[in-house]
Structure 1
């Protein structure tokens, strides 16, 4: 088997797997159907892009279709960006304004109209022969790279905001959404970097290695897609979105009007609220609920959620996530020191105190005590 045939085989498998994953995302039962559909369309576009390694055999003479296929890559990152929004925010909905994300795709196709789409077959063939040097292609590649950087930065900013809001408002220790999306985005960034380096070979003295570079790119794409399938099969309902209307404490503070007559009265009120909150946490142990949110805790102690968020995240100077987990760790320490409960395993203890992940329990426990749960029990 020669290099080209080997590359075609890898590309065919990668396209098949991408379509298979898209089909899975369309049909799997989940509450977040919008996110799954957006991700499915993303993988369909990925399949269209990867088909370029072998599709030329079937569309001979259909040069308009081939150039149009090139430009569909400009819809990939907008779809991924919208997918991340749909995953992170449970109340996200598509709106007409989101069609603006298609502007680069439309603009690039308009650039090809005068000297490609509207000319005769001879001119099109000539364009294809010299397409690497054509100004339309240089503009197209610039737009692709600029768009990619724009959306990859946008996705990382969304994830940062999601993480900050999650830590201030939720106590669920299963942080899979952020980790999973961060992993995906990082993998995409690495894969795209490989593609860019591969494309640069066109303009160097190593252009004969271009076919091998394509084989590497095709293999990486296949491995990434298989990895997504394994994740999707193991976690058909991966994500738990947060409310996009939630605000960070640093954004709430400037909006809050302090109505106390003096600073002393305000400080006394804050101290009283902190004492009341800590007493409630110790006596009622609401942290035993693994899905406790700041909204639920605010309802239990009859305090506006904005005030409770400021109290914990600003005045106590802890994220709600860390504040709740500290009580869980203290409860776990009591159980580990209790000789009458020595038969309880660490796994049983972590579930009992409100954790739902062994890795997050071990991480939090070591952060608080500098020891693993087992080492703490033995000491």
Structure 2
């Protein structure tokens, strides 16, 4: 094989092989979040689809069974992206058709179609009609996913709220999925192997985003001022005043509330407030504020008027829906939807 072909093979297969390992990681990683399972399954389906393309590009005589498996996997990529977006926005339980039935039905259709019309005996059907249907089904679910993520896109485009790492991650997964679909869809006008190369490139970009996301999520040890720790008799009046201000002025509803702003309201230095939170209350600033926000969210969740999760998050002081879900689960050990259901 010529050197340029070897390089092309390496670039096109890089994402697919690594995608298989990443898919396994999402399946076994803790906490066992359902969204990670959907993401892992999606990455697995894309990897199988890409491997099929790589094998066919470098050896057009491969068995038709491999081609059928690759296209069958492609049929499930869009739905898995859709379920991932639903689970990340806590809308999975709000669907008319439950996701196991929805996804199970699609898998059943794929299996039955493959058994009745195997690629080996129906190459024209698979290569023309079913190939187009599969790609348009993928696109259809990409469009559905865009509606699910529409509030996040709106916030980013209008720059109304500060975009958090989780939102960037979700939008990047969506954009990457669409880019891979577009590369495969336009391969007839460019190159058949372009879709595989695109996946490798996107995989590399997503790996970098995941790395930086992990780095930012690593909890830093709070700075201790052991020689200046506030003694309890002095700390208690400050804590009472702090709780009073947070409750009466509802400062937690400000999504842009910062440690310096709160310290100014309390008429103490930022360092002094940091000491009070870290050393006396044993809480970080964000955790302390989020406790008030979650309490307000719980009242809205169980109120007489049914509200959308996005509205509840905004009225409680969160700058995005994903931040709201993460904080709610961390503090209450359940999701907002499950909490609301438990109170009905």
**Alignment TM-score, normalising by the size of structure 2:** 0.56
- Partner in structure 2 of residue 227 of structure 1: 205
For 1:188 and 1:303, the matched residues in 2 are separated by 33
For 1:158 and 1:305, the matched residues in 2 are separated by 24
**Alignment TM-score, normalising by the size of structure 1:** 0.52
- Partner in structure 2 of residue 66 of structure 1: 67
- Partner in structure 1 of residue 103 of structure 2: 98
Q: For each residue in 1:267-320, what CA deviation from the matched residue of structure 2 results, as whole angstroms up to 9, or x when unmatched? A: xxxxxxxxxxxx9865454446542677622667x996345969xx7xxxxx86
78-87 or 23-32: bigger deviation: 23-32
Alignment of 1:297-336 (within 5 A): 297=296, 305-306=303-304, 321=314, 324=317
Q: Which has the higher contact order (CA 8 A, sep 6+)?
A: 1
- Partner in structure 2 of residue 186 of structure 1: 175
Q: For each residue in 1:202-259, what CA deviation from the matched residue of structure 2 results, as whole angstroms up to 9, or x when unmatched? A: xxxxxxxx5xx245433321111122223333435999xxxxxxxxxxxxxxxxxxxx
Q: 1:107 to 1:294 in 2, by over 3 A?
A: farther
Equivalenced residues, count = 247
Q: 1:309 to 1:191 in 2, by over 3 A?
A: closer
Deviation at 1:55, TM superposition (A): 3.1
Q: For each residue in 1:142-179, what CA deviation from the matched residue of structure 2 results, as whole angstroms up to 9, or x when unmatched? A: 21232022101111112236789xxxxxxx96644443
Q: 1:192 to 1:293 in 2, by over 3 A?
A: farther
Contact map agreement 2:293 2:318 (CA 8 A) in 1: no
89-98 or 48-57: bigger deviation: 89-98
Please say which structure displays the higher CA radius of gyration. 1
Are 1:156 and 2:149 an aligned pair? Answer: no
- Partner in structure 1 of residue 42 of structure 2: 42
Deviation at 1:17, TM superposition (A): 1.8
- Partner in structure 2 of residue 11 of structure 1: 12
RMSD of aligned C-alpha atoms?
4.4
Are 1:109 and 2:114 an aligned pair? Answer: yes
Contact map agreement 1:10 1:222 (CA 8 A) in 2: yes
- Partner in structure 1 of residue 137 of structure 2: 147
Contact map agreement 1:81 1:155 (CA 8 A) in 2: yes
- Partner in structure 2 of residue 87 of structure 1: 88
